[in-house]
Structure 1
Amino acid sequence: MIRIHSANQIAVWLWVACILQILQGAPLIVFSAVCILLAFYYCPGRCWRTLKRIRFLLLAITLVYGWSVPGQYLWPGRWSPTEEGLCWGLLQLVRLLGVLAALQLLLWRLSAARMFSGLYVLLAPFAFIGFNRERWALRLSLTMTFSGDLLLQQDALNREGFLMQLAGAEQPCELQEVSILVESLSFFDLALLWVLFAAVLFTLLMMV
Structure 2
Amino acid sequence: MTIEAVIFDIGNVLIEWQPERYYDRVLGEERRRQMFAEVDLHGMNDLVDQGHHFTDTIYDWAEKYPDWRDEIRAWHDSWIELATPEIPHSVRLLRALRNKGVPVFALTNFGVQNFDYACTVYPFLTEFDRAYVSGRMQMVKPHAPIYAAVEADCGLAPAALLFADDRVENIEAAQTRGWQVHHFTGPQGWAARLVAEGLLTEGEAA
User: Same-fold call, TM > 0.5?
Assistant: no
TM-score (structure 1 length as normaliser): 0.28
Per residue, is there more strand in 1 or in 2?
2
- Greater Rg over alpha carbons, structure: 1
TM-score (structure 2 length as normaliser): 0.28
